[in-house]
Amino acid sequence: MNKIRIGKLIKTPLLCITLILFLLLPVFVSAQIASGPKFLGNVIAGDIPDNWTTYWNQVTSENAGKWGSVESSQDNMNWNNLDLAYDFAKSNGFPYKHHTLVWGSQEPGWIGGLSQSEQLVEITEWIQAVGERYPDCDFIDVVNEPLHAPASYRAALGGDGATGWDWVIKSFELARQYCNGKLLLNDYGIVNDEVQTGNYLEIINLLNDRGLIDGIGVQAHAFNLDDYAASLITRNLDRLAATGLPIYPSEVDLRGDDATQLQRYQEKFAALWDHPGVKGITLWGYIQGTIWQSEAWLVSSGSIGATERPAMQWLKEYVGASSVTLAPGETPTPTPSPTPEPTPTPTEVPVDCSGAAEWSAGAIYDSPGTRVIYNGVLYENNWYTAGDNPEENSGDYEVWTRIGSCGATGETPSPTAVVTTAPTNPPNVTPNPGTLGDTNSDGVIDIVDALLIAQYYVDLNPVNFNPDAADTNCDGNIDIVDALLVAQYYVSLITEFC
């Protein structure tokens, strides 16, 4: 391999390495937390914070994409802040989500003074204008909060109609006609409320049956998460995922003092992030003094090196660990599966069925927690139901929960044995001396490999250096470009060499 010199500007090895590290600095400063298949995004409200790309890799405009923000005066459009967010996303290769097209809040004040036919013309013009100006949208919140803040002009879109949600269907038809990107429905109070999840699914299924929806948005502000069990969140996500549509939680923020916020992230955020149906999450701010939920801030300012709260430190480690990308040719070492101790089969305890009525196929059970008897077994409903046989519709994520047999006899169940789980080791890789970029042949491509290339370039004769793995742009030379490419690979800005 040949070594090309930069020129007389670089006089000493120390100066050369200093220059290389200086050139590498922006690569590491802009390394986002998530680098795997799921994104971790945030909002942009106006000016872009210096440390935004340190953490996030998906963009949503916080307020600038709402109709009332763009067209507060009829036919006078203000795209400035929306252009800023969109252009920033596209220039950095980040997915961009438009928020939102149809919403009952922050709608233009003048829309209420028009006739229904005039309203429909204006709605159509608005959606068409967004599609034309932002042709590379990745996601669009088509209708926001249909259950809680329906648009005042919904009659112009068909009102309730035959389906009960004709206005939502029409909104999605217009978005499909004029816009690119995945079309999402979005609302709050879903992951923490099984009844509302059922109501939400009614709309989703109508859209899904017509091929109009590409993903499910669920708002996850602090009031949807803080005081609710992770198991409840998971159950409702399971029900949404059963549609086959990907889920995109958004507007995520978690409050509390340092200890409380950290615990909530470890429980509630993890429940969202780890769910297989969730394909990306968008937080709703992160900087102290600028975030909508004031107690939910994660970083003290928008400057590089700002103080991070414990929850942010945990978030970086947790999401970063789940986003590890192995180098070409590397094979992860499987984590050994735990060997559980056998669990003794319990003997059912009789339950008191007094006060419970026999289940009736013609009855409506609209209050969760209602208990009924069917074939001598006590059941409890989890949400609204009518005509669903308890015996056939009980179990995980079903409408009925089996409580137990009425008047059954038997012994007290044996205690459940504790399952001891083997400790999970961090993923390892099998060393592959021939892997391009792995210049020290340790099986991992990291900053050490970049520095070894730099040392070789200035004749410092690095130890355990494999020059055959150093020419990462395959141009026949080992130089500063190769070190930069390794650094970019390390922070997932590129996924392969040559």
Catalytic positions, please?
A: 145, 251
- What's the CA gap between 171 and 107, in Å, rounded? 15
d(C-alpha 227, C-alpha 221), whole Å: 11
Q: What are phi and psi of 109, to 5 degrees?
A: -65, -30
Burial (0-12, 13-18, 19+ Cβ within 10 Å), 188: buried
Closest residue by Cα to residue 390 from 410, 405, 411, 408: 405
Structure tokens given for 67: 């109709």
For the four alpha carbons of 426, 429, 435 and 440, in that order, the dihedral sign comes to: positive
Q: What is the DSSP string of 239-283?
A: HHHTTT--EEEESB---SSHHHHHHHIIIIIHHHHH-TTB-EEEB
Q: Alpha carbon 196 to chain centroid distance?
A: 21
For 36, residues 6+ apart whose C-beta sits below 8 A from its C-beta are 322, 323, 324, 325
Using CB atoms within 10 Å of the CB of residue 166, give its burial: 0 to 12 exposed, 13 to 18 middle, 19+ buried: middle
Q: What DSSP string runs through 324-363?
A: --PPTT--BPPPPPP-PPPPPPPPPPPB--TTPEEP-TT-
- Going by C-alpha positions, the residue among 21, 17, 57, 23 that lies closest to residue 41 is 57
Choose among 360, 431, 365: nearest CA to 399. 365
Beta-strand runs (E) in 115-178 = 139-144
In the numeric block, which tokens belong to residue 207? 């859209």
CB atoms < 10 A from the CB of 55, how many? Answer: 24
